[in-house]
Structure 1
Amino acid sequence: MLLPHGTVFAIVDGENFELYRNSGMETSPKLAAMDVPDLNGTNYSAGAKDHDKISRFQTGAPKDKIGKLEEAAHVTAVAEWLNGEVLAHRIDKLVIVADPRSLGEMRRHYHKQLENVLLGEVPKTMTGRPTEDIVQMLHA
């Protein structure tokens, strides 16, 4: 995958969000960390009915159900933030690297403009990894 200068990389999983920009050349990318916004994952649209039940009966709710809803809300917040950045013309080239579940949830929320600037998606968990590993994985 070619990684043009200025491309933004969103590295996402159900709990974490990292942002990088390619400050190097297309042939020898160098990922520079960007500030990550403080996102409020309150969009439980992926399971609104279940979330209402869980909120009312918190003590009896299965922890895995709560966790899945929180993860879906987190990645939805990331997708919405990315949509806003694309619409504001602050991101014009984007690559998203996310675990398969998160990537699937994010796709449900992509704006058409985000789809137009999306250079690629990688269904893999890469949060917390060194930038060299991310670049190597993208070139593989």
Structure 2
Amino acid sequence: MQLPQNTIIAVADGEKLSLFQNEGDAANVKLRMMPSTDIDSSKISSGGRHSSSAANPDDSQQNEDGFSSGVADMLNKQVLDGKIKSLVVVAAPRTLGEMRKSYHKSLSEVLIGELDKDLTGHSLQDIEKALAAA
């Protein structure tokens, strides 16, 4: 995948988000970790925030879906504010599906690629290799 300089790479799963910026050029990707951003994961359908219990095993999935939606909202805001000019989203398949539901039209316009892999917790080199191979 060709990543122009300054492309933002969002690496997410249902619990964590890491943001990187390509300081290299399209041919030589060199990712730099960006400061973490707070995510509003309160967008959970009916019931809001509540503690998990054995009676309702879907609570953790609702929390993950809420986090995914919160990540998309944060990315939408940064795109609309002009802070992101090109974007790649790398996310676990289910997370990516949840995020897509919340993409703003403007985000879709700057989105240059998606990778449906869970690379959270992987090294910078692993992420760079996965992007180069995509």
- Alignment pair present for 1:122 and 2:104: no
Q: TM-score, normalised by structure 1?
A: 0.89
Q: Which consecutive segments of 4 or more residues in structure 1 shift more than 6 A?
A: none
Shift of 1:38: 1.6
Given residue 62 of structure 2, which amino acid in structure 1 is its aligned partner? L
Shift of 1:132: 1.1
Q: TM-score, normalised by structure 2?
A: 0.93
* CA spacing shift, 1:122–1:59, aligned 2, 3 Å: closer
Deviations 1:11-62 (A, max 9, x none): 0000110000001121111000001112231001xxx23x36x84x965532
- Alignment pair present for 1:105 and 2:98: yes
The answer on whether the counterparts of 2:12 and 2:90 sit within 8 Å (CA) in structure 1 is: yes
Where does structure 2 lack aligned partners over 5 or more consecutive residues?
none
- Which one has the largest radius of gyration? 1
Where does structure 1 lack aligned partners over 5 or more consecutive residues?
none
Given residue 106 of structure 1, which amino acid in structure 2 is its aligned partner? M
Give the Cα separation in 2 of the matches to 1:60 and 1:104: 26
Identical positions, percent: 38
What is the number of residues matched between the two proteins? 133
Give the Cα separation in 2 of the matches to 1:130 and 1:113: 30
* CA spacing shift, 1:132–1:59, aligned 2, 3 Å: closer
Give matches, 1:55-74, under 5 Å: 55=50, 59=53, 61-63=55-57, 65-74=58-67
Q: 57, 79, 84: which is aligned to 2:72?
A: 79
Given residue 7 of structure 2, which amino acid in structure 1 is its aligned partner? T
Give matches, 1:46-57, under 5 Å: 48-49=45-46, 51=47, 55=50
Q: CA RMSD in A?
A: 1.7
